[in-house]
Chains A and B, each alone.
Chain A
Amino acid sequence: MKTALSIMLLGCTASTAAMAQDTLTISVYSFAQDEYRAALYKPFEEICGCELVIETGNSVERMAKIEANAAEPVIDMAVISTQDALSLARKDLIAPLDSAKLSNFDKLYQAAQDPIGDHMAVGYTFYASSIVYRSDLVDITSWGDLLGDEVAGQVALPNITGTQGPPTLMMLGKALDHGDDFKPVISTIGEKADDIVTFYSRSSELVQLMNQQEVIAAPVGRFAWSSFKDAGLPFAWAEPAEGQAGGMNVMVMTKNNGNEELAYQFMDYWLSTEVQTKVAEMLVDSPANKEVTVSDEIADNLTYGADVIEALNILDPATILDQREDWVDQWNTEVIR
């Protein structure tokens, strides 16, 4: 009750500006917060003598809030997907990063150093996207198998509005020989819509559905793989003929947040070999720092190593941004109906 009261009072009296001095507000994905706290937040708070305020949520919600508070940023730095970062950059909501202020910048893989151009973001993790399936019930060797009869009525796809949506379309396009044109892919999904259990928007939802056998195959990012592994069911990670899709999450700095120094310090710490190794060993994020070395067993659960990262099929964030509206329109008429 006392805490409740003090929260109320805090909310009424203290202004955010007065607190900004020793507080860094970050906006992150909501998964694995316990691990981040141990490997990243707590150690950083000790180093900087400051307090981290952490806002979590899915990227769409967090983006909407950054935009709503553009005039007086509440969030100082955020980690989001490349296309969301580009969207923020186009709306002039984030500031270019000065690589000189990031001592670990040169240790990053080339692809992570300037993923969206103009130094508006740096990548901190890569992930592969492939298909998780029940190896005792089906065998998945191609992205095209997702629309096959074997899994009909027991397959889920990511929603078009989520991060995993467009990469899935891309890989289905390769499997169905449509190249880079997503239109026929969406039409095909529309024809098969009744065979698809749901278009999920959170990986946790998918984990639950796969655990209760509602779904036996679905595309998912590698970052969710560890939650499948714990379930005790025979789940397998497909290696489709078309290869794996890939994505990268990046860090951005909100424009004119007045807290840049602390934000740089935090970003640099997160990119350091030490933190990147710790986070990788917890199977949370695959490293973007090429100096990170992990055991084979750990590596097996991550998207790790130059060869793997270079082989990923990464969709250009600009393409996603420019065409998403059209995809969503077509999706809404042909798939959801």
Chain B
Amino acid sequence: MRHLANWSILGLTLLFLIGPFVIIILAGTSAGNNLAFPPEGMSMKWYLKVFTIESFRTSFALSMALAVFGTLAALVMGIPAAYALNRYDLPGAETVRTIVAAPIIVPGIIIGLALLRYMVVPLDVTVTMALFMAHTALVLPYAVRVVSSSMQNLRVDMEEAAVLLGCSRMQAFTKVVLPNIRSGVLAAFILGFVTSFNQVPVSLFLSGPGVRTLPIDMLAYMEITFDPSIAALSALLAFMSLAIVFIAERLLGFSKYV
């Protein structure tokens, strides 16, 4: 009895969470010209059409580049920061933590607007550059937090032992700390990648001629037509995210870090 109750609660919750996603996949297989469920006949034409739309290709490339390089940049700054916050008795530790975490609390649309108003326009920074920096700032909190939590589990004395045994501090970090937080770094990378790739509000104001992230391009496409190719593209992207998460889960039990 308990079992049944348990599973029906879970079943309903999962239906609510995942149902819409299944509908999108199926709506994309429609043979008709409208977004509808159940779809009007079956066809793969919308899934194929996605690949022929030029602006999707360029915006996909931009989003991909932003997600990869933005997350890498965030890790380059975030790992040392996480290390410092965990291993040093810093006077301003709390301030640093607050500053770095701030982009999570503030609405994304405001970040985009502020960068457009006070950086792109007056300082002549290109939109692409602004996007890159905004995405880096946005991923930074996740990088610091996830890497921090995996560092907390690492005992300090291992590092001290390495130093006593003749390693320099840098060597101790690369030989002892880094290998042990590897999975945390990977988790941070994936989380950052997905966050950046799906980001809408920050990029809303940051677009220029020929420069547009994929989610914004999808919204723009929807201004012209609601045909099922958007459903197809959404499904393809979801599969991409799923594949990444699946691989990550297999490699390192990713869900621990979310």
Contact = CB atoms under 8 A, between A and B. Distances in A.
- Asked whether A and B interact, the reply is yes
Interface of A: 1, 3-5, 7-8, 10-12, 25, 27, 30-33, 53-58, 65, 68-69, 72, 74-75, 202, 204-205, 207-208, 211-212, 227, 230-232
Contacts of A69: 121
Interface in B1-36: 32-36
A75 B209 CA distance: 8
Contacts of B47: none
A267 B55 CA distance: 24
19 contacts: A1-B65, A3-B58, A11-B129, A31-B223, A55-B208, A56-B220, A57-B220, A68-B117, A69-B121, A205-B222, A205-B226, A207-B226, A208-B35, A208-B226, A211-B226, A212-B34, A212-B35, A231-B34, A232-B33
Interface of B: 32-36, 55, 57-58, 61-62, 64-65, 69, 116-117, 121, 124, 126-129, 132, 207-211, 220, 222-226
Most buried by A among B32, B36, B128, B224: B224
A278 B69 CA distance: 44
B61 A7 contact: yes
Contacts of A8: 65, 69, 128, 132
Contacts of A227: 225
Most buried by B among A8, A30, A58: A8
A55 B208 CA distance: 7
A31 B211 contact: no
Contacts of A33: 55, 224
Given A54-B209, A202-B222, 12 more contacts: A4-B64, A4-B65, A8-B69, A10-B128, A11-B128, A11-B211, A12-B128, A55-B208, A56-B220, A204-B222, A227-B225, A232-B33
A4 B209 contact: no
A254 B236 CA distance: 40
Contacts of B57: 3
Nearest to B60: A4
A212 B36 contact: yes
A58 B226 contact: no
A7 B58 contact: yes
A53 B210 contact: yes
Contacts of B225: 204, 207, 227
Nearest to B121: A68
A105 to B, nearest CB: 27
Contacts of A3: 57-58, 61
B248 to A, nearest CB: 20
Contact of B62 (A7, A32, A55, A212): A7
Contacts of A58: 223
B209 A25 contact: yes
A5 B117 CA distance: 26
A58 B224 CA distance: 10
A65 B116 CA distance: 10
A7 B226 contact: no
Contacts of B32: 232
A30 B62 CA distance: 20
Contact of A74 (B34, B62, B64, B209): B209
Contacts of B132: 8, 11
